[in-house]
Amino acid sequence: MKVFMTGGTGFVGTSLAKRFISEGHSVTILTHDNASATLKMDGLDYLEGNPTVAGNWQTKVPAYDVIVNLAGASIFSRWTDRQKNILLSSRILTTRNLVDALPKDAGYITFFSTSAVGYYGFHQDEELTEASPAGADFLARLADDWEREALKAQQKGARVIITRFGIVLGKNGGALGQMIPLFKFFLGGPLGSGRQWFSWIHMRDLAEAFIFLLAKKDISGPVNICSPQPVRNLELGHAIGRVLHRPSFLPAPGFMIKLILGEFGSVLLEGQRVIPKRLLDAGYKFTHPGIDQALKDIIVT
């Protein structure tokens, strides 16, 4: 199949592109600047264009069987009013332009559009599945608006799969890329109380889930892309410490996190216990369901 990706040069996108190509699919990544694209391999091409702006790139979209929409400004920043607008517009405009680019009869297209488990808002210990409602905080509203925009592709007949990511753990980037240096310098530990739930996914399982869902023609709508074994933040810190042979007792006070990061700090201090019910019900077998084994694979190997 021919795969078209936005956000394909990032941490998740590069791994996902490699996995699609390993299955024999060809991948085209939409990028602002072809010259800056570093990943080179057979089966991978680049198309220059800005996904937030309508343009000639849209005329190419109907030639593809699979659309993977990963583009969106990073949430890991202080959320000023200006930054909130960037977070929203980068997601909504990209998704709207992709949907506009679809042909009127897009029944042959599978449209993957990214979301996040932040869709559910902040919760305590209850388990959340794809049937749980959206939350009311900024990140939840952002995810809800993003998903609604993507689901408009159904009006053109496309199969739409909303992939709600947990925190993605992988080599050379992402959350672990920011956390591991702190542990190596004996500064690692829980955030705030450490009791908040941390819903996560190993990069390999994320990529495998896409391949699995592509083949499952009867699945559409929201799918949680996260491990069936979420952990508390305190457990995550202990697990990283064990793998790195470093202490994990130094807490980061909640008030300091909020002082430095503002509203975004709540995302780190609160969480949600999300279960990938639809993946499990469909028979997907996780390669790395547990945090200790996942971290050993990422950090040690």
Domain membership of residue 110 as a residue range: 2-169+200-225
What gap in Å lies between CA 95 and CA 162, rounded to an integer?
A: 12
pLDDT band at 255 (very low <50, low <70, confident <90, very high): low
Mean pLDDT in residue range 258-283: 84
Asked if residue 289 is part of any domain, the answer here is no
- State the Cα angle at 47 between 160 and 163, rounded to 5°: 25
Report pLDDT for 195.
Answer: 87
pLDDT above 70: residue 7: yes
Report pLDDT for 301.
Answer: 67
Asked if residue 215 is part of any domain, the answer here is yes
Sole residue written with tokens 């945090």 = 291
Report pLDDT for 186.
Answer: 57
Report pLDDT for 240.
Answer: 84
Report pLDDT for 249.
Answer: 66
Q: Kindly state the percentage of the chain with pLDDT values over 70.
A: 91
Asked if residue 42 is part of any domain, the answer here is yes
Give the CATH number, domain containing residue 17. Answer: 3.40.50.720
Asked if residue 15 is part of any domain, the answer here is yes
What gap in Å lies between CA 42 and CA 26, rounded to an integer?
A: 8
Max intra-chain CA distance, the chain: 57
Q: How many CB atoms within 10 Å of residue 21?
A: 16
pLDDT above 90: residue 224: yes
Report pLDDT for 286.
Answer: 98
Give 195-216 pLDDT, tens digit per residue: 889 999 999 999 999 999 999 9
Residue 31 contacts by C-beta under 8 Å, 6 or more apart in sequence? 8, 9, 37, 46, 47, 48, 49
Structure tokens of 132?
A: 């749980």
Side chain identity, residue 97: N
Asked if residue 280 is part of any domain, the answer here is no
What gap in Å lies between CA 54 and CA 240, rounded to an integer?
A: 44
pLDDT above 80: residue 92: yes
Asked if residue 113 is part of any domain, the answer here is yes
Asked if residue 85 is part of any domain, the answer here is yes
Contact predicate 164/117, CB 8 Å: yes
Count of domains in the chain? Answer: 1
Asked if residue 163 is part of any domain, the answer here is yes
Report pLDDT for 53.
Answer: 96
What average pLDDT is seen over the chain? 90
Closest CA to 24 of 3, 53, 39, 51: 3
CB-count burial class (<10 Å; 0-12, 13-18, 19+) for 290: middle
Using a cut of 0.85, tell me whether the model's pTM lies above it: yes
Mean pLDDT in residue range 263-272: 78
pLDDT band at 16 (very low <50, low <70, confident <90, very high): very high
| DSSP code string of 94-113 | HHHHHHHHS-S--TT-EEEE
